[in-house]
Amino acid sequence: MKTNENFERELLQLVGGSENVISATHCMTRLRLRLKDENKAKTDDIKKMKGVINVLISNGQYQIVIGTHVTEVYSVFDTLLKESKGGEEKQSNSSEEEVQKNKNIFAILLDVISSVFTPTLGLLAGSGIIKGLASLLAVTNVIQKTDGAFILLQNIGNTFFYFFPVVLGYTAAKKFKLTPLMGIVIGACLVNPAFINILSNSEPLYTLFDGSVIASPVYFSLLGIPVLLMNYSQTVIPIIFAVFLAAKLEKKLKVIVPKVLQMFAVPMLTLLITMVITFLFVGPVITWISSLISVFIKASYDLNPIVAGILLGGLWQVFVMFGVHWGLTPIGLNNFSIFGFDPIMCLMYGTPFATAGSVLGVLVKTKDPELKALSLPAALTCFIGVTEPAIYGITLPRKRPFIARLVGGAIGGGILGAFGSKIYTPLAGGIFAIPNFIAETGIDAGFYGAIIAVTIAFLTAFIGTVIFYKEEIQ
């Protein structure tokens, strides 16, 4: 369908006019509006419009299902909206803040998650499929890991995930009304290769709290204050926090800084203050939490492997989101170097399968065509160890599938702990990791435990989602 301005003008009037529209965005098939008063919108008339598939209202969003040409509709609608509003941006912002105040915490979190992650879903799923394809071709010996085809596919697929904070910097900036380029630069600062190289190739100046459970290597300091570096790639919470902080700072600085200096002073101060606070405070907090988690998980395993499996299997993806999972990696590497196997990191092996189960459960229950289209490729990538499209696109914005996934992962981890499962080579992704559980002496109880664990994790999450899922429009 080719859009025309008459359609968008009529639509704008039916939603209550420009004065009733706080903001407008879109995803793959929907025009997503925030309205001051949803009762002013003539929903029944909108549903009858030629070119409108449906109207959905949820979590403060008025969603008009248009179809795959929604980008064209949005472009015209947004232009008309801006022309009508003129200089009403400040009023719009205050209205949005008022709407947020009237929402509960959970609704606000869902709103943030939806706004930040929804624009990324297409590329997220596409990159996941490319990454999974590379792994599939390598495991089946169609290509070798040294071949140019594998190197190309693997790096194309990994790029989006490695620079995920950069992408989220842009989408979070749009959500929090920060200058979009500022959000991009903040994300780029977090994954700057120079910082990663310091972590990988430099010797620390000294170790903070040396000898304690939160011992932290210090590579450089700022005015005598130690800076604790970490790998922020693939994390999501630090960048969202940083952009939120930057948005508040930018707004304040535009009031304080003289207009003649604002062009360079506002972005300079916003970027500088945000990154200094993030590196000085967020980094250390995440580093210390990560260290404490690693010590706790190791102690739990020594006490009872089943308990450790429940904790690590259930919470692994939450750890990844916050970036606190890095502290567990040395445990696995140390076990490999000393014993030739690792019984701890494999406890999260059921998590991708639990995620696949919850996503397929959504696929079975949902009547949303957009969600169905995303669910199938997201589930398939889970089976090959790539869970990000499923987590951020399907389960995280929806409470019940997310809980079902956590429960499935926890049960799978508990079973792995009960059978004393071990991996004898670093864990690969998804189904490709199954041979990693086979010892040199042959198949043992740990291998069978892995098979049982992933099966139960999958079925638990799938059945739980099918039983308890309710359509939660995002």
**Which one is catalytic: 27, 189, 346, 382?**
27
382 is catalytic: no
SS3 track for the chain: CCCCHHHHHHHHHHCCCHHHEEEEEECCCEEEEEECCHHHCCHHHHHHCCCCCEEEEECCEEEEECCCCHHHHHHHHHHHHHHHHCCCHHHHHHHHHHHHHCCCHHHHHHHHHHHHHHHHHHHHHHHHHHHHHHHHHHHCCCCCCCCHHHHHHHHHHHHHHHCHHHHHHHHHHHHHCCCHHHHHHHHHHHCCHHHHHHHHHCCCCEEECCCCCCCEEECEEECCEEECCCCCCCCCHHHHHHHHHHHHHHHHHHHHCCHHHHHHHHHHHHHHHHHHHHHHHHHHHHHHHHHHHHHHHHHHHHHCHHHHHHHHHHHHHHHHHHCCCHHHHHHHHHHHHHHCCECCHHHHCCHHHHHHHHHHHHHHHCCCHHHHHHHHHHHHHHHCCCCHHHHHHHHCCCHHHHHHHHHHHHHHHHHHHHCCCCECCCCCCHHHHHHHHCECCECCHHHHHHHHHHHHHHHHHHHHHHHHCCCCCC
The residues annotated as belonging to the active site are 27
